[in-house]
Amino acid sequence: MDSVLMNIQPNETKIIGNWVIENGKPVADAAARRIDHVIKNDLVKIECSDDGWSVLFLDKKYGRYWELTYTESNQQGGGAPCLELLSRDDAAVKYKISD
């Protein structure tokens, strides 16, 4: 996949990864691999939640906050990743950040 298409687009608000079974083993789908790419290349880690299950990132290009969560708590490691846009106010409350 083209690296430009891997990057967060200005109109995006959520990227939901999934696990798929290949050769009897769970592997990351294209969206989960894209989340990994975005975290490594486009986002800056700001803070972890108190429980350690979510992480706040800042997209410096667009000045937006993104939260990484794992929404399938019944699976090992919390399941596949989900990256979702957070408002500045929500990020400030949940992660206790300030300007």
Beta bridge partners of 22: 25
The predicted model scores a pTM of: 0.86
Token readout for 11 is 């109109």
What are the start-end ranges of the H helices in 1-87?
3-6, 30-41
SS3 44: strand
pLDDT band at 75 (very low <50, low <70, confident <90, very high): low
Q: Taking 60 as the threshold, does the pLDDT of residue 76 lie above it?
A: no
Q: What is the per-residue pLDDT for 51? A: 84
Assigned token pair, 79: 């399941």
Residues 39-64: tens digit of each pLDDT:
999 999 999 998 888 999 999 899 99
Q: Are strands 55-59 and 64-70 parallel, antiparallel or unpaired?
A: antiparallel
Identify the band that residue 6 occupies on the pLDDT scale cut at 50, 70 and 90.
Answer: confident
- Helical H runs in the chain? 3-6, 30-41, 88-95
* Distance spanning both ends of the chain, measured CA to CA: 36
More confident of the two residues 99 and 47: 47
Domain boundaries along the sequence of the chain: 3-95
Tell me the mean pLDDT in the region 72-94.
83
Residue position matching structure tokens 């090992």: 76
- pLDDT(73) > 80: no
